[in-house]
A and B are shown apart, each in its own frame.
Chain A
Amino acid sequence: MGRICAEFAEPDEALAAHRALLDEGIPSQDIEIRSPCPLPEEAIPPHRSHPMRMRNWVRFFWICGAIGGFALAAGSQLDFKIFTGGHPLVSLPIDVIIVYECAMLTGLITTLTFFFIETRRYRKMCPPREEDLPVAEGHVALVVESEEAERAAGILRQRGARSVATLAFLVLFLLAFPGCTVRMRTQPVIKSTAREGVAQPRGTVTMPGLDERKHLYGTVLGYAIPEQVRELDKKDVIVPTAVMRMKNPVPYSARSVQRGREIFGELCVLCHGVKGKGDGPVADEFQPIPADLTDPVTQQKVDGELFWRITIGPSSMPSFYDRLTAEDRFHLVNFIRSLTRK
């Protein structure tokens, strides 16, 4: 097995020599013609020719991209039902723009991908070789690699060739998206003045803040909320025995769970996460971290205790006695039950 490389100053000479080799019976798949620029294709003698399927792949992936683009736009709009500007949720004339761009992007990337796939099929990803030098000089090289290399060399006024292999690596650049930061801590917070004890001008009517309104909802469903219960129970929740024994007045039903899910999606999901695993977007902000509601520890608690915990809010969880009616809190309890009851 020999390998030779012949160098020609003019492309026409190289093409003529190529033809001569074929005439002498050297199989065309053993000859490789290498040039610094594309040679006229009709002038190249028949050589190994693999079908070029790049176009069809681009067509195929263009359509895939269009479908993907539509799925992205329409899927996100259906997933995230927000109406804007009086347009329907999935508005075809508008989404067509996204579809179009996605299809084009896929087509462009497919072109490059299949360019690499199709060119790499015929050779290994090789490093510079000796025969690269004549090409770099602007010459055309004919590389013959076969049993009859000696004979071919004679025809082509032989030139020696040797190969040195080193490997080139394609560097992949991974684009890392910046992490999500929830700016709860940095934005300004306004505290109620009623509690801070700021000297108010005479005749000022104090507007109660959320915390001060507890007396408005002091009794719900017959259960009084002691004035200091929040501060005391924050650290170590003591559930009144009456509450522990209490039966859930709202029967477990699909309707109730649905209502619970709505409230959960509005108030709880940011900390407890969609699945109630305690992995919501802002969960990391808290120490201890929000409870995993699907955990047996939570699920083994009786309805009354869950109700009480939602009511007063243990640890860093806010209390909901002033934001949710007792009925809604029981809906939430039913929803928490539904997380593991399948």
Chain B
Amino acid sequence: MSFKAPDLSIKQIYDEVMTTVLGPRPKMATLLLMIILAAIVLHGVFQFFRQSFVGLGVTGLTMPVYWGIYIATFVFWIGVAHAGALISAILRITGAEWKSSITRIAEVITLFTLPAAASFPFIHMGRPGLFYYLIPYPNNRLIWPNFKSPLMWDFFAISTYFIGSVLFLYVTLIPDLGTARPNMKGWRKTLYTILSFGWRGTAEEWKRVKEAAALFSVLILPVVISVHTIVSWDFAMQLVPGWHSEVFGPYFFVGALYSGVAAVFTVMTLLKWRCGFKDLITPIHYDMLGRVFLALGLAWAYLFFNDFLPGYYSNEPDKMAYFRYLAFSHPYSVLFWLMFLTNFVLPIACLSFKGFRMSTVPMFLLSIGVNVGMYIERVLIVFCGTQVYNPLARNVTVYVPSFTEISIVAATFAGVTLGYMLFIRAFPILPIWELAETKIRQTVREIAGKKVYYFKSGE
């Protein structure tokens, strides 16, 4: 079954998408959930301030493990943030028609997960009040930051990616805001008028918005590759045996896309369940994105083995100590094999079947599983790299995250969810113009008694 545009008029598409914005007031349960999420966020903020006044001693960090769950969560969120780039840029460049329903869902994930990720290096600092020491500007301290440090590369890469993805999201949002503006009332009208920047929808403007979207796709793709590569270089540049690996760049990047796509599935299903885009998000979308998911899962597995196999084959002592620590030592072996199951065995086995790919609920559960697995993977890399036995390290205890750390990590999860919920109430979560364009460009031909849908080129 090939992809075909939804059987709706442009007005119907508009109405269906705008139900989340213009629909009835949220139910009591939704409000309650939002209050709970806000409370978790506030608690995290409180814990962060407590930590910065008392000192990092309130975390579980100890001598050899100087980087803990903060950095693991940082890597995880950066990974999830790759969803936006993958769906929007890659699918746009390759001209996949089914992308329209998914692009903005994915971009908004980036919008909220990237700040969540970027907050962690600051939370993790010993003196977070001095974070501006990392900003390169001519200052009265007469000092520049060290551009040779991977953290500075992080700073540049993440800010570039964040600015890029926000602008990308914004450019594709402008036409929808401009079109929907006359129907809006109250604060939304003001917001849409300001943000749509006088959009009118003439042919000239359409030409340029498509050009800008194409340029953004081309520009953001190398950025997104660099972002997670640089995050992996935070580890790979170090002399820590488990981290000093040349394959880390692609390994992290593919892992990031893998968890990003999983996050898109999760959000997509939740949206379908709560907002009912039953004509706009169909099993075919699940099938199409599921194929990408499968390919990424296989690529991840390939790089995962590529990371370990050379060390194993040549009996490299440091690498083997690391691997043994991961796979067979008490606190981590459970996590390691759980990751192996949810990241490799289950997805590869399940996604190979079209029937599975097209069923919503199993895909939802699988996507959650993959993201749990990816979180575990980051945790294992960050915790074990420095925890592994080294004759010169004075390992006394095994690192266990403290309550402070867990509440701050939980706060970012709650914050991302809350942000997403608010965004849905304020802006259309599906790109109306892209859906309508797909609809317009679709033509039907009857070949041998079968209807075949194909699309005229957008260029």
Contact = CB atoms under 8 A, between A and B. Distances in A.
Indicate whether A and B are direct neighbours in the complex (CB within 8 Å). yes
B156 A108 contact: no
Interface string A190-227: 00000000000000000000000000000000000000
A136 B179 contact: yes
Contact of B193 (A128, A136, A138): A128
Given A73-B147, A91-B148, A105-B164, A39 B206 contact: yes
A76 B136 contact: yes
B9 interface: yes
Interface in A54-110: 54-55, 58, 72-73, 76-77, 79-80, 82, 84-85, 87, 91, 94-95, 97-98, 100-102, 104-105, 107-109
Interface in B107-164: 129, 132, 135-137, 139-148, 152-153, 156-157, 159-160, 163-164
Contacts of B179: 36, 132, 135-136
A111 B147 contact: no
A242 B171 CA distance: 76
A161 interface: no
A38 B210 contact: yes
Given A101-B160, A177-B137, A178-B132, A37 B433 contact: yes
Contacts of A138: 9-14, 436
A119 B208 contact: yes
Contacts of A177: 132, 135, 137
B279 interface: no
Contact of B440 (A39, A50, A122, A181): A39
A107 B269 CA distance: 35
B216 interface: yes
Contact of A125 (B10, B137, B144, B198): B198
A95 B225 CA distance: 18
Contacts of A137: 11, 14
B346 interface: no
Contacts of B142: 80, 269, 274, 281
B440 A116 contact: no
A39 B441 CA distance: 8
A170 interface: yes
A126 B202 CA distance: 13
A73 B202 CA distance: 43
Interface residues of A, number: 75
Nearest to B176: A36
Interface string B1-31: 0000000011111100000000000000000
Interface string B53-89: 0000000000000000000000000000000000000
A120 interface: yes
Interface residues of B, number: 77
Contact of B200 (A126, A171, A274): A126
A78 to B, nearest CB: 10
Contacts of A48: 204
A112 B167 contact: yes
Contacts of B168: 108
A49 to B, nearest CB: 8
B84 to A, nearest CB: 13
Contacts of A104: 160, 164, 219, 222-223, 226
B230 A97 contact: yes
Contact of B181 (A40, A105, A112, A128): A128
B302 interface: no
Interface stretch (A27-35, A229-237, A245-253): A27-35
A341 B330 CA distance: 73
Contacts of A111: 167, 171, 212, 215-216, 219
A100 B210 CA distance: 25
A120 B208 CA distance: 11
Nearest 9 Cβ contacts at the A-B interface: A138-B11, A37-B436, A138-B10, A76-B144, A125-B198, A38-B206, A101-B156, A108-B164, A115-B212
Interface of B: 9-14, 129, 132, 135-137, 139-148, 152-153, 156-157, 159-160, 163-164, 167-168, 170-171, 175, 178-183, 193-194, 197-198, 200-212, 215-216, 219-220, 222-223, 226, 230, 432-437, 439-441, 456, 458-459
21 contacts: A37-B436, A38-B437, A40-B456, A41-B459, A52-B207, A54-B208, A79-B144, A94-B147, A95-B147, A101-B157, A111-B171, A115-B209, A116-B197, A119-B205, A125-B198, A136-B182, A138-B10, A138-B11, A168-B193, A178-B132, A180-B132
